[in-house]
Amino acid sequence: MTLPNVEMHVFETILARRSIRNYTAQKVDRTSVRTLLEAAVHAPSAMHQEPWAFAVIQNRSLLQQLSDHAKPLFVEELRRSHPQRTDHDLQSLTHSGFNIFYNAGTLIIICAKPAGSFVVADCWLAAENLMLAACAMGLGTCVIGMALPALTLPELKLELGIPDEFTAIAPIIVGYPDGETAPTPRKEPLILAYLSATDG
């Protein structure tokens, strides 16, 4: 594996990562994608099952098509799970100009065969590895949970090259950030217990 030329300390990278929703037109090249996948597969996995598999989509018209399919399905799901939401609340999501991938040129979908109770956790650990590596390489990322309902559709999976027996778990857009993104504030850690050997 060729290591990317980065100098960020891991904690700096954790603090610098944020969800990026504005991208330049610059394409993410194959070598960079390969490095991101290498970072992903170095995540820990339960019983070292390494259940992940990846679909990389850099075809803009396919991404637009996926976005168009995903929006109504996501809104339907949101209406079901949050009946108090009004049409006004959902307006920005249904707007025809809104692309759920924020016009990013690359979508990486982390998939797995749903076997074993930790498969989903494994894939999200891979996702965070990928996003931190991307950040250290000057790339922006954002998880697009909105895409998931559409990614269960057999005809779309077929078009995206995801075999039927694989489930999409973590869709992540990747691209070069256009401008700065302010950090999202965090709550202080809620510590429920901190039992040290000297207490009691």
Ligand X SMILES: Cc1cc2nc3c(=O)[nH]c(=O)nc-3n(C[C@H](O)[C@H](O)[C@H](O)COP(=O)(O)O)c2cc1C
The residues binding ligand X (CB under 6 A) are 18-19, 21, 142-146, 184
Shortest CB 181 distance to ligand X, Å: 7
The residue (of 17 and 157) whose beta carbon lies closer to ligand X is: 17
Instruction: Output phi, psi for 194, to 5 deg.
Output: -150, 85
Shortest CB 198 distance to ligand X, Å: 36
Pairing of strands 167-175, 52-57: unpaired
Q: Count Cβ atoms within 10 A of the Cβ of residue 174 and give its class: 0-12 exposed, 13-18 middle, 19 or more buried.
A: buried
Alpha-carbon gap, residue 24 to 30, rounded angstroms:
17
The residue (of 189 and 200) whose beta carbon lies closer to ligand X is: 189
Quote the longest CA-to-CA distance of the chain. Answer: 63
Shortest CB 144 distance to ligand X, Å: 4
Shortest CB 29 distance to ligand X, Å: 24
The residue (of 61 and 184) whose beta carbon lies closer to ligand X is: 184
Q: Which two tokens stand for residue 131?
A: 């996003």
DSSP 57: E
Residue by residue, DSSP assigns 35-48 as HHHHHHHTS--GGG
The residue (of 18 and 79) whose beta carbon lies closer to ligand X is: 18
Coil, strand, or helix at residue 152?
helix
Residue nearest ligand X, Cβ-based: 145
Shortest CB 179 distance to ligand X, Å: 14
The residue (of 34 and 82) whose beta carbon lies closer to ligand X is: 82
